[in-house]
A and B are shown apart, each in its own frame.
Chain A
Amino acid sequence: MTMRPDPTFHASPRLAMEAPAENFAYTLLLSPDFSKPDALAVIDVKPGSPTYSQIVHTVTMPNKGDEFHHFGWNACSSALSPLAGHAFIERRYLIIPGIRSSRIYIIDTKPDPTKAKIHRIIEPEEIFKKTGYSRPHTIHCGPDGIYVSTLGGGGKDGTNGPPGVFIMDCETFEVLGRWEIDRGPQTLHYDFWWNLPRDYMVTSEWALPPQFENGIVPEDLLSNKYGHRLHFWDLRARRNVQTIDLGANHQMALEVRPAHDPVREYGFVGVVVDTTNLEASIWTWWREGGKFHAEKTATIPPEPAPKEKLPPLLQGFGAVPPLVTDIDLSMDDRFLYVSCWGTGEMRQYDVSDPRKPKLAGSVHIGGIARRTAHPNGKSFAAGPQMVEISRDGRRVYWTNSLYSTWDDQFYPDGVPGVEVMANVGRNGGLELDKDYFVSFPDGYRAHQIRLEGGDCSTDSFCYPSV
C-alpha cells in the first residue's frame, strides 16, 4: 500500500512516452533440453553505463523444465482506471509462468532490479484445482486483478476441456478462478488484450498442447488444424460476443495488439502462415457500429531457397516461410513491428492509417536461409522473435527463440540466446545498434523481454492521449 500512485503508472499513452527511459531490461531464459533451471536475466540498458548491454543479475529458479515464455507485471497503468478508484499498488512483481510445467513464479523487483528475487511460487496443482486450466501464458494487469491466459485445459495433455483465462489477486497472488462466464465457440487460446474504457477483450488462437509441446505437427498444420479465429468479449460481462474466422488457411493467429490510445477502437493480429502459399499476414480488426470486423491488411511472401539451406521440415517446399511469430505496436500507435522469424527480418510498418500498413523500415538478421550476421560481425542464430519497444518508441529490442521444440525443427543447428536492439529514426526507419548485443550463458535461449517501468505490450490505459 503506497500513498501515491506508482510513478510508472501513466494516465495516457502520451504520458507514458514522455516518462524517463528504461534502465533495465528483464529477459526470460529457458533451458531447451530442461537440463538446467530456467532463469530471469536483468540486463543493463542504460547508455553510457559501464555494464551496458550486459547481464547484471540473474534469478535462477529452483525447478527444471518450466519452459519460460511470456511474462508480465502485477500492476501497470491500468491501476489508474477511474473505475477502480484505487491506484495505490506498486509495479513491483513480475509474474512468470512456465508454459510446460504450469508453475508460476512471482519475482520481487524491489528495492532494485539488480536484487530481484523469488517472492512466491504458485505450484501447478493450485492452478489445476482452482481453474481447470493448464499451461499459463500471457499476463496482463487488469482493473480487478492479474489476468492470465492459458493454452491448455485439464488432464495430463491439457485437452480435457478448453483453455481460457483466469484471474489472480494482484497483491496476494491468490488464484481466484476462471474469468469466462460464457465462452461461446472458443476452444483454443493464445494471446489476449483489451480496451478498458470501451470494455471489450480480444483473444486469439494457437493450438492445443499436443499440437505444440513436442514440436509443430506438420500434418495438423497442412490440414489447417491450428487456430485461425479471433474472439471478441464483453470484458465486464465476461461473455464471448463475437467470433471472426480468418479462414482456415490462416494458421495460428497469435499476438493481439490493440491501439494503446483507448479512443481508437482497432488493433492488429499476426498470422504465422497461410497454408495455401506460405505467406504470413497482418490483420487489422476494428469495431464499427457495435460489431467487430477484421481484414487482411499486409502480407509477407515466402522466400525461395535451395533445399540444402532448409531444415528437413521445409525441404519439400523449397522456400522459407516468413513465420510472423510476434508483432508489437509503438505507444503512439504509429509503428507496428513485425518479427519474421523464418526469413530473418524485423519489419516496421507505418500504421497511421490502420487498414493500410506501409512498410517504413526493415532490418535483416539471422534467418533460415539468409543467416545475416549482426552489424558488429557476430552471428545471430534463428531470427527476430519476441520484440519489445521502449515507451518512447526510439528503441526496439528483440530475442531469437520461439519455443524449445519448434526452434529445433526450424533451426536444427541450435539457437544460442541473443538479444539485440535497433534504433528508430524520428520518422521511421530501423537500424541495429552496434553496441547492444547480449549473449546469454551457454545452454540458454532467450524469450520475452520486459522493460523497467513498463513497455508497449504491458500497460493499458484508461484515458486517451490528447
Chain B
Amino acid sequence: MFDGLLLLPVGLDWGHASPALGWLWLALVASGLYHGVNPGMGWPLAVSAGLMDKSPSALFRALWALSAGHLLATFLVLLPFAFLLVLVEWQRSIQIGASLLVIGFGVYRLIARRHPRGLARIPPTQLALWSFAVAIAHGAALMLVPIYLGLCQAFEFDAGHEAAGALMKTSLFKTSLGMAVLVSLVHVAAMVGAGGCLAWLVYRHLGLKFVSRSWFNLDAVWATSLVLVGAVALALNLASWR
C-alpha cells in the first residue's frame, strides 16, 4: 500500500513525467529570476559596491558574496527535507506539511509587514551573511521547498521504486541530497544571472536613478507568491491523491 502511495505522483503525472518535470525546472528558474530582480535580495548592494570602489570587480565580488549567502540559505532550508524524504511512508504528509508551512509563512508575511530590524544592523562588509539572513527571514529559500519536493518525487520514482529496504533508503537519501544541491545551484544561478544583469545595467548604463525608480513594494506580492506556491503544491497533491 505504501509502495502504492509512493507510486502516486504528487501533483504530477509521473506516468508522463517529462512535461511536468519541465514545468518544475521552469518554476525553479523562474523563482531564481524573481529573487534576482527583487532589490530586497541584494542587487543594489552590488551596484553600491561597484560604485564605492570605482571598479566592476567590486561589483562582481559583491555578487559572489550575495550568491554564496543565498545558496547556503537555500541548501540549509532544503536539507531537513532531504533527510525527511527518506521516510518514504511519510512522504505524502511531508509534502502536505511543507505546503502548509509555505502557506503559513506567506500569511504571516502578509500580516506582519514590518521588516526585521536586525537585517539593517549587519555590517556592510558581511554581504554573504546579509544575503543568508535575508533569504531566511523573507522565506526566499522556503519558497523552493514545494518545487524541490516535486523534483525529488520525480527522480526518486525513476531511480528508487524498484530498489528495496535499506538499499532504497540510502539511494533515496543520495538522490534527495543531490537534488537539494542541484536545486540550490540552479536557483542561485538564475538569481545571480538576473540580479547581476540588473546590477550591471544600472552600474554601467541606467544610472542610480533606476534604483529608486525600479523599487516597487513587493511585500504583498512576495507574501502572496509564498501562499500561491504552497497552495498550488497542496492542491496538486490533494488532487493526485484522489
Contact = CB atoms under 8 A, between A and B. Distances in A.
Chains A and B form a bound pair: yes
Interface of A: 1-5, 7, 9-12, 14-15, 80-88, 143-145, 171, 196-199, 236-237, 262-263, 462-464, 466
B47 A199 contact: no
Contacts of A87: 212, 215
Contacts of A88: 217, 219
B48 interface: yes
B212 A9 contact: yes
Contacts of A82: 39, 42, 44-45, 47-48
A84 B208 contact: no
A11 B212 contact: yes
Contact of B121 (A9, A80, A198, A236): A236
A147 to B, nearest CB: 12
B122 interface: yes
A80 B123 contact: no
17 contacts: A3-B217, A4-B215, A9-B212, A15-B208, A84-B119, A85-B40, A85-B42, A86-B40, A86-B115, A88-B217, A144-B120, A144-B121, A196-B124, A197-B52, A199-B123, A263-B52, A466-B51
B216 interface: yes
Given A143-B120, A237-B123, A464-B52, A12 B208 contact: yes
Chain A interface, DSSP helix/strand/loop, else mixed: loop
Given A85-B119, A463-B51, A463-B52, 7 more contacts: A2-B217, A15-B209, A85-B115, A86-B40, A236-B121, A263-B51, A463-B208
A83 B54 CA distance: 19
Nearest to A10: B212
Contact of A464 (B51, B121, B130): B51
A84 B209 contact: no
B98 interface: no
B134 interface: yes
Contacts of A171: 114
B83 to A, nearest CB: 31
B52 A85 contact: no
B242 interface: no
A263 B51 CA distance: 8
Contacts of A12: 208
B51 to A, nearest CB: 5
A345 B50 CA distance: 42
B39 to A, nearest CB: 7
Given A85-B119, A144-B121, A199-B125, A4 B217 contact: yes
Contacts of A84: 115, 119-120
A215 B225 CA distance: 61
A262 B54 CA distance: 12
B20 interface: no
A465 to B, nearest CB: 8
A197 B121 CA distance: 12
Contacts of B212: 4-5, 7, 9-11, 15, 80, 87
A81 B212 CA distance: 10
Contacts of B39: 82, 85
Given A1-B217, A86-B40, A463 B47 contact: yes
Interface string B49-90: 001101000000000000000000000000000000000000
Contacts of B125: 199
A87 to B, nearest CB: 5
Given A85-B115, A462-B48, A464-B51, A80 B120 contact: no
B117 interface: yes
A171 B115 CA distance: 12
A79 to B, nearest CB: 10
Contacts of A263: 51-52, 54
B211 interface: yes
A199 B45 CA distance: 14
The 7 closest A-B pairs by CB, nearest first: A82-B44, A144-B120, A11-B208, A85-B40, A143-B120, A82-B45, A236-B123
Contacts of A143: 120
A30 B39 CA distance: 43
B135 to A, nearest CB: 11
B119 A463 contact: no
B110 to A, nearest CB: 12
Given A85-B40, A85-B119, A463 B217 contact: no
Contacts of B115: 84-86
B205 interface: no
Contacts of B16: none
A85 B113 contact: no
B194 to A, nearest CB: 16
Nearest to A464: B51
A212 to B, nearest CB: 33
Which has the most chain A C-beta neighbours within 10 Å: B44, B122, B134, B216?
B44
Contacts of A15: 208-209, 212
A2 B217 CA distance: 7
Given A84-B115, A263-B52, A4 B216 contact: yes
A197 B124 contact: yes
Contacts of B51: 263, 463-464, 466
A11 B209 contact: yes
A1 B212 CA distance: 15
B117 A83 contact: no
Nearest to B51: A464
A275 B45 CA distance: 47
Contacts of B42: 82, 85
Nearest to B210: A11
A235 to B, nearest CB: 8
Interface string B105-138: 0000000011101011111110000100010000
Given A85-B115, A197-B48, A236-B121, A80 B211 contact: yes
Contacts of B124: 83, 196-199, 236
Contacts of B45: 82-83
B71 to A, nearest CB: 18
A9 B208 CA distance: 12
A321 B212 CA distance: 46
Contacts of B134: 85
B165 to A, nearest CB: 48
A84 B118 CA distance: 9
Interface string B179-222: 00000000000000000000000000000110110011101000
Q: Which of A7, A82, A196 has the most CB of B within 10 A?
A: A82
A4 B39 CA distance: 12
